[in-house]
């Protein structure tokens, strides 16, 4: 999907002209304020993506799923998937180092190595040393490069402090291709139940007469982001977010009968909730109605960033260097 961004000077000029013609009209300068915030957030993401190095930590919760009988809150990780919900890592130029529980991963170019505990580094691609899938393998440069390319609409702005330092926090909600790109590049965790039976991109329907595979359409995903940055250095220090997705491609509950076959169950009728008017925000994220959340698979996450421009990847022994084909001196 192609996005266009109107230049900030043009936005400002139009806003000034409009304000001059109707100085008492409420919200006459809203476009100028929104445009400045959107442009500022783009610059912040660009500056963070352009850093040479960065340390980071991640934590996430798979949350809840709307699929009854499947992905409930607190369930164990699916077979073949790591159960770790926290990671820490360092991105240094073309090197990425991530620790996921007892597992360690190093990436350089097209090469990846992994090890478990004090074991040896082994060549891998998209897998941990024991063959399990990492729940989240964040690449900060990829995350911020994608965000910097988007025409933001800032929904909310606030000021605060993080580790005793002032920060500004801008809130955005991404949908469509912008949200799916975050999901499919591994930049945000996948909610439990995003696909109905596993993550193979199709719903397997088992009937008495045989098996039929129904290819699912692209998931309907929203990503809420609260991006906190230093107003002085204009680099990101924290991203707090939430991924929301319909739990299956038909937006219906699935019931499996003992006699075989699958029944697609219509959503239950919900009592309408009272409108409160102005949108509310908590911890930087929009407060969503319980009736909306009940029908969605949800994952929440928090990323923190430090050592901007000075972080160093450690643990590069001779075997890792050889397997990654690192040039001498790295």
Write the CATH number of the domain with boundaries 28-270+280-324: 2.50.20.20
Q: What pLDDT is recorded for position 118?
A: 93
If one compares 129 and 29, the residue with the highest pLDDT of the two is 129
How sure is the predictor about 217, in pLDDT bands with cuts at 50, 70 and 90? confident
Q: How far is CA 170 from the centre of its chain?
A: 15
Burial class (CB in 10 A: 0-12, 13-18, 19+), 216: middle
Q: Looking at the predicted structure, is the pLDDT value of residue 324 above 90?
A: yes
Q: Are 86 and 58 in contact (CB under 8 A)?
A: yes
Q: Looking at the predicted structure, is the pLDDT value of residue 35 above 50?
A: yes
Task: For residues 228 and 45, give the distance between their C-alpha atoms in angstroms, rounded to a whole number.
Answer: 11
If one compares 11 and 298, the residue with the highest pLDDT of the two is 298
Rg (CA), the chain: 23
Q: Are 61 and 75 in contact (CB under 8 A)?
A: no
* Ramachandran assignment for 289, one of left (phi > 0), alpha (psi -120 to 50 degrees), beta (any other): beta
Burial class (CB in 10 A: 0-12, 13-18, 19+), 179: buried
If one compares 2 and 186, the residue with the highest pLDDT of the two is 186
Q: Quote the mean pLDDT of the chain.
A: 77
Share of the chain above pLDDT 90, in %: 55
Q: Looking at the predicted structure, is the pLDDT value of residue 33 above 70?
A: yes
70-129 pLDDT tens trace: 334 444 455 445 555 899 999 999 999 999 999 999 999 999 999 999 999 999 999 999
- Domain limits of the chain? 28-270+280-324
How sure is the predictor about 53, in pLDDT bands with cuts at 50, 70 and 90? very high
CB 80: neighbour CB atoms within 10 A? 11
Q: What pLDDT is recorded for position 291?
A: 84
Q: Looking at the predicted structure, is the pLDDT value of residue 54 above 70?
A: yes
Task: For residues 131 and 226, give the distance between their C-alpha atoms in angstroms, rounded to a whole number.
Answer: 33
* Residue entry with tokens 């019931």: 255
Weakest-pLDDT range from 141-150, 236-245, 271-280? 271-280
162-201 pLDDT tens trace: 999 999 999 999 999 999 999 999 999 988 745 433 343 3
* Residue entry with tokens 């930087």: 284
Burial class (CB in 10 A: 0-12, 13-18, 19+), 82: buried
Largest pairwise CA distance in the chain = 72
137-167 pLDDT tens trace: 999 999 999 999 999 999 999 999 999 999 9
Q: Looking at the predicted structure, is the pLDDT value of residue 275 above 60?
A: no
For residue 298, give both structure tokens.
Answer: 């949800």
* Residue entry with tokens 């509310």: 280
Q: Looking at the predicted structure, is the pLDDT value of residue 62 above 90?
A: no
How sure is the predictor about 135, in pLDDT bands with cuts at 50, 70 and 90? confident
Q: What pLDDT is recorded for position 212?
A: 52
Q: What pLDDT is recorded for position 85?
A: 85
Q: What pLDDT is recorded for position 216?
A: 60
Q: What pLDDT is recorded for position 330?
A: 64
- Phi, then psi, of 274 in degrees rounded to 5: -70, 130
CB 88: neighbour CB atoms within 10 A? 15
Average pLDDT over residues 29-56: 90
Average pLDDT over residues 274-298: 83
Q: Looking at the predicted structure, is the pLDDT value of residue 320 above 90?
A: yes
Q: What pLDDT is recorded for position 192?
A: 72
Q: What pLDDT is recorded for position 257?
A: 39
**SS3 sequence of the chain:** CCCCCCCHHHHHHHHHHHHHHCCCCCCCCHHHHHHHHHHHHHHHHHHHHCCCEEEEEEEEECCCCCCCCCCCCCCCCCCCECCCCEEEEEEECCEEEEEECCEEEEEECCEEEEEECCCCCEECCCCCCCCCECCCCCCHHHHHHHHHCCCCCCCEEEEEEECCEEEEEEEEEEEHHHHHHHHHCCCCCCCCCCCCCCCCCEEEEEECCEEEEEECCCCCEEEEEEEEECCCCCCEEEEEEEEEEECCCCCCEEEECCCCCEEEECCCCCCCCCCCCCCCEECCEECCCHHHHCCEEEEEEEEEEECCCCCCCCCCCHHHHHHHCCCCCC
Q: What pLDDT is recorded for position 194?
A: 52
Q: Looking at the predicted structure, is the pLDDT value of residue 136 above 50?
A: yes
If one compares 97 and 267, the residue with the highest pLDDT of the two is 97
């Amino acid at each position: 999907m192609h996005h266009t961004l109107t230049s900030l000077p043009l936005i400002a000029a139009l806003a000034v002209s409009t304000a001059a013609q109707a100085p008492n009209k409420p919200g006459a300068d809203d476009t100028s304020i929104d445009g400045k915030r959107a442009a500022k957030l783009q610059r912040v993401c660009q500056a963070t993506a352009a850093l040479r190095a960065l340390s980071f930590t991640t934590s996430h919760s798979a949350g809840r799923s709307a699929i009854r009988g499947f992905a409930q809150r607190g369930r164990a990780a699916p077979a073949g998937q790591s159960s770790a919900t926290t990671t820490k890592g360092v991105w240094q130029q073309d090197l990425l180092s991530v620790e996921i529980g007892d597992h360690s991963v190093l990436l350089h170019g097209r090469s990846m190595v992994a090890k478990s505990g004090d074991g040896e580094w082994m060549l891998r691609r998209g897998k941990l040393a024991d063959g399990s899938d990492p729940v989240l393998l964040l690449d900060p440069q990829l995350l911020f490069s994608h965000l910097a390319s988007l025409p933001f609409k800032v929904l909310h702005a606030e000021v605060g402090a993080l580790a005793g330092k002032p920060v500004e926090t801008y809130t955005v909600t991404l949908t469509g291709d912008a949200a799916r790109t975050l999901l499919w590049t591994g930049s945000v965790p996948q909610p439990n139940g995003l696909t109905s039976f596993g993550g193979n991109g199709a719903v397997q329907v088992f009937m008495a007469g045989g098996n039929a595979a129904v290819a699912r359409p692209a998931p309907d995903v929203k990503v809420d982001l609260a991006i906190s940055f230093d107003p002085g250095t204009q680099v990101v220090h924290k991203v707090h977010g939430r991924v929301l997705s319909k739990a299956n491609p038909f937006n219906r509950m699935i019931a499996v009968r003992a006699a075989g076959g699958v029944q697609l169950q219509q959503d239950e009728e919900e009592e309408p909730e009272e409108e409160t008017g102005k949108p509310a925000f908590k911890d930087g994220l929009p407060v969503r109605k319980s009736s909306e959340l009940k029908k969605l698979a949800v994952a929440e996450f928090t990323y923190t960033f430090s050592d901007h421009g000075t972080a160093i990847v450690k643990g590069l022994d001779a075997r890792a260097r050889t397997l990654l084909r690192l040039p001498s001196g790295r």
